[in-house]
Every structure is written in C-alpha cells, then in structure tokens.
Amino acid sequence: MNFLRNLLASILGTLFAFGILFFMFLILASLAGMEEGVRVKKNSVLELQLPDPISEYTGSDASDPFAGLFQKQMGLQEVLHAIQVAKKDDNIRGISINSTFLMAGVSQTRAIRNALKDFRESGKFVYAYSDFFLQKDYYLASVADSVYVNPVGAVDFRGLSAEVLFFKGLQEKSGVKMEVVRHGKYKSAVEPFLADEMSASNREQISGLIQSLWTTISQDIGEARQLATDDLNRIADTLGGRTPEYALRAGLVDGILYEDQYEARIKKASGIGEEADQPYVALEDYLKLSRNKKIYEGTDKIAVIYAQGEMLYGEGGPDFIGQGIINEALAKAREDSNVKAIVLRINSPGGSALTSELIWRELERTREVKPLVVSMGDVTASAGYYIASAADKIYAEPTTITGSIGVFAIVPNIHELAGNIGINAEQVSTHANSVEYSLFEPVSDNFRKVATESIEDTYQTFLERVAKGRNMSIASVDSIAQGRVWSGADALEIGLVDETGGIDDAIAAAASLAGTDQFSIRNYPRYKSGFAQLMEDLGESGSQQQERVLESGMGTQLYAVYRELKGVLRQEGIQARLPFILNIK
C-alpha cells in the first residue's frame, strides 16, 4: 500500500513539475516576444478595438515586464493616453474604430470620444465600421469623419431605458426578508425590498437622470452628424437605423460597405496604393509602446489618485475602494515635495459610510497642504460624493451620475424561513442589549430605534461635510439631497460640481491652483505587479472558481441578479451608496 501511495505521489509530483516548466516556458516565450517591442510602420492605422471591460485605471507599471501580459481589462487612462500619443506619432495616419459590445460606461465612452475628436483636429482621419452598431458603440463611432455599416447590419438607435429589479415577492415566498432603515425619500437602494413596483419619487429621479444623459448623447451625435435633436428623437422613436438603408437615409451612416470595401477606403485615406498592404497596429499593442511616452513634461508633479469601485472597509484594491490604499496614496503625495497638487479621480457608486469618513479626513488633511481637485467618472454617488466634497474644485462629465446624498442600513432576517423549516433560536444574555441583532428573531423596536438614530446621525454628518466643502448651508444641501441622484449637467446647475469636463480638465485646474505650467503626472496607487497577480490567480480559491462556473452556466443577466443579491447580503454597517443598481440600455 505504501509503495502504491509513493508511486502515485511521484507521478503527480512529476506531472506538476512538468506543468510548472511548461508554464514558465510560455511566460518566457511571451516576454521574448515583448522584448522585440511594438513596431509602427509608416502610414499605419491604429485599430481601436475595445473587446474587454474598461476600468478607470489598471495601475500597470511600464517597468513591469508582466504589465498587460495577462490583463483582461484596459484602463481608461491608458486608452486616452494612447490616443494622445498617436496624435503626435508621425507613423500613424489615422484611427479605425471597429468595436462592438463596448463594455464601458457612458462617461467613459464620452471621454474616449472626446479624445478621438481631439485626434481629428491634428488633421488625421478617424473612420468607423461595424457589422452592426449597438447604441453605445454608435455613440463612440459617431465622432468619426465617416461611419460605415455592413450591408446586412443595423444601427441600434432607440434612446435610453433603465431597469430596476424588485424582490418583495421573492422575500414573501422564501421567508428571507431584508430589514431596512433609511433616510431620504429618493434613497431607493432598498426600495426593491420594500415594494413590488417603482415609487413615484424613484420614477421621477430615474426619468430625469436618463433624460439628461440622453440630452448630452443626442447633442454630441447631432453635432458630429449635423443632425437636429428633433430629427434624432424621431429616428429613435421610429427605429430609423434598423436597416442599413434606413440608417443611411436618416444620416446615421455615410455608406453601406463590406469590410474589404471599407479597407479600400482606409487605404485611400492613408495615401497608399490599392495593391499595397495597409499596415495596422492594434490598440492592445500600441498601449505597450505608449506607456513609455510622456504627454506632460516637467519637474513639478501632479499626483493623480484613482479611487474606483464599491467603497468597503479595509485595504482596497483595483476593484474596490478601501481607506488603506487610498489614504496611503494621499499621504505619499502630500509628503512628496515634488508633487504640487493632487487630482482624485473617483468612479464609485458609494458604500461604507465609515470608510468614506476615514478617507474624507485624510483628504481634509491633504487639502490643507496642497490643492485638491476631484474628477468624476461614470458615477460618483453617495459615499463617492461624500469624499468628493472635500475638494477645492469638482469636475464631472455631463453624463456622470452623482449626488445621492443619503444613507441606509439593511440587514437580512430569516425568522419566517427558520420557522417554516423547523429552526428555533434561543438566546441567553447578561444585559438587555447583549444580543444586538439575531438573524433568527424578528427585529425589535429597540434595535430599529437605535439603528434609526445612527442613520440620522450619519445623514447629518453627510450634510455637514457637503455644506462645508461646497460652501452651502445645511438646509440648502438637504433640499437637493434626500438620496436623489443627478446627472453631471444637472449637478452643475445645483452647485454640487464646479465645472463639466474630463480628467485632463481637472489636471489643468490643479496645475493652475498650484501655479505651475510645466509638470508631469504621477499616478497612484500602485497595485500588485503582473507577476504577483498571476501567482495569485494561479492560487485562485475554490469559491472564485465556483463563481466562474456559475457565470458560465447562468448567463450574464441571471448572474448579474445573483451578484446583486449577494452584494446586498455582504453590506455591513451604515451604507451611503447609489439608490439603485441602474442598468441603462
């Protein structure tokens, strides 16, 4: 028996060793390929394909040989930088947009669109082509000099809609209930657990939000395509892009072409012969080259700190904001004599009220030493806006989702389910409040009273933070708070932001406040190196593997519902977050 056990162990050990050697061979081969560098031939066209999710910032280091090797995301900051580099690259004649199923937010899409608009001002061309355009893909493509669609394709142009899921019926059938305490008539993150349908106030805020977003989108498209807003609304109402012929007649596209015909147009714009091969460079490859190119030059530094994801108590990382990594970055930038000003780039639906207060305090300390400007991404709501309010100046895109000044607490309760399946929980205590809360018992009046006091205290603190930062009275903040969300354009009108613009505008404002016009950028925080992340992925836990299997088996939409419910159960403490999980289509 021992012999067989030792033999089996030897075989498994040998196979494992061969596996490691094979894997290391693949890594070395990849690194060898990277060492050859990216070669951009004369008259090249940059292919703008965005097949992966767009994050705000990947934290990749140009000196890290593994940077981007196994990266499944592109950072918005990297994409914008690459387009800026391409604008000055004499070997790049133009850009071809060929992206379908764009996985980016509306404000991220607009930022890329504005970078392409700036690229065109250099005299270089931007063309766009697709077999079919989804609405967000078309929004990006509409900035091009010419837009083409496949003869059997379509342009999905129908306006915006938003969907909110409600779970009250599920609670009643399952016996699992979410107990809720909230402040703010618009604070409807918890509404799906209290009702079967949308409240009038929630419908009002969502309707106002998507209408404001659509106004910006339609204005941008109308300016580029020379179409009136009324005409675009008519096209959306009649699905006027549902066939290539309709899209051409409506002015959404400039031509109906097969891909080879589109490539002939690219060659003509590039100035090469019809028989010559058109040199292309993929954005994924160009990112490797552009990382080493600087747009900003100067000995002075502007620190750009990225805070992205849900706000949770703890260290934080690429996917969620924790006070650990953000406060450490703020301290480094604050204490660096070369850093003259700081830009905090926020893309967050909010989260832990405690975490936001801890970050707010560090921002207050930083603001006393150096100018602090906030740049908002797709969403900077609730706890995200809490920390934004500490800035000297706030920039938002017109399509940024912001505000949501309100708080709530939510705890699961399975008393009814436990009774149905024969579970009874008994408690023994030394004091009246020793058992703060039990999952198996109905919520007591005393617990609800104490929770309500905490919610009201947190909401009042939230109002005070915003009032101080925005130089407004508490009453004025309260009148536009109550958990309501606003678009960046509307937030400008009510005083929650100072200017509409992107991250470059915020950087320019920070430099101006610091009194410098010759500066370079220093990005924070630094996440784990490519190699460290790779080793962590190899050691992926069984639960993470289960998540991947679930997503594959359930499909994207059902898995999103599962993640939403799981996220609610994960929430701890008082929450200040976006009042709904919004799926804009």
- Measure the CA dihedral 515/518/520/524, to 10°: 0
Read off the tokens for 62: 């140009």
Q: Is residue 129 classed as helix, strand or coil in its secondary structure?
A: strand
Read off the tokens for 520: 């370079």
Is residue 291 within 8 A of residue 67, CB to CB? The reply is yes
Given the residues 124, 187, 301, 370, the one annotated as active site: 187
Residue 370 designated active-site:
no
Residue 187 designated active-site:
yes
CA distance 56 to 309: 9
Please say whether the dihedral angle defined by the alpha carbons of residues 378, 401, 101 and 152, taken in this order, is positive or negative: negative
Amino acid in the structure at residue 91:
N
HSE value, Cβ hemisphere, 13 Å, CA-based, for 272: 20
Is residue 473 within 8 A of residue 467, CB to CB? The reply is yes
Read off the tokens for 412: 């699961």
Q: Where are the alpha helices (DSSP H) in 36-183?
A: 76-88, 106-120, 135-141, 168-174
Q: CA 231 → CA 85, 211, 216, 481, distances in Å? A: 36, 16, 15, 35
Pick from 378, 386, 392, 324: nearest CA to 351:
386
The 3-state secondary structure of 37-53, one letter per residue: CCCCCCCEEEEECCCCC
Q: CA 108 → CA 1, 120, 284, 292, 400, distances in Å? A: 62, 19, 18, 23, 9
Read off the tokens for 276: 């010559």
Amino acid in the structure at residue 280:
Y
CA distance 144 to 140: 8
Please say whether the dihedral angle defined by the alpha carbons of residues 461, 467, 468 and 469, taken in this order, is positive or negative: positive
The DSSP symbol for 192 reads G
Given the residues 212, 382, 404, 487, the one annotated as active site: 382
Please say whether the dihedral angle defined by the alpha carbons of residues 553, 555, 556 and 561, taken in this order, is positive or negative: negative
Pick from 373, 370, 407, 356: nearest CA to 497:
373
Number of Cβ within a 10 Å radius of residue 12: 10
Read off the tokens for 387: 């920390």
Catalytically annotated residues: 187, 382
